[in-house]
Amino acid sequence: MSWCRINSLHHQAVQETGEGIEIVARDREGLVQGIESRDHDFLIGVQWHPEWLIFNRPQQRLIRALVEAAHQRQAG
C-alpha cells in the first residue's frame, strides 16, 4: 500500500463499481478517491484535482501518464 496527498473537496463517492472497474484509492475515511478499468489501456478516474497539487510527485506522474496516453492514442 502507498499513499499520496490529495485535495478531497467532496462528500460523495462511488459506492459500487461497474463491471471491469476497480477501486484503487480511498481516503482515510474510506471514501473512494480513485478507480481504474481492467479492460482498457488507460481509463482512470479520480475524485480530486491533481492539477491543483502539481508540486506533488504522485500528481505529476498521474498527469504525465495522461499526457503520454493521449500522445500514444494520437499516434495511433
pLDDT in tens, 11-28: 777 888 999 999 999 888
Say what the pLDDT of residue 71 is. Answer: 96
Helix (H, G, I), strand (E, B) or coil at 69: helix
Q: List the chain domain ranges.
A: 21-75
Cα Rg of the chain, angstroms: 13
Per-residue pLDDT of 24-68, as tens digits, reads: 998 888 889 999 999 998 999 999 999 999 899 999 999 999 999
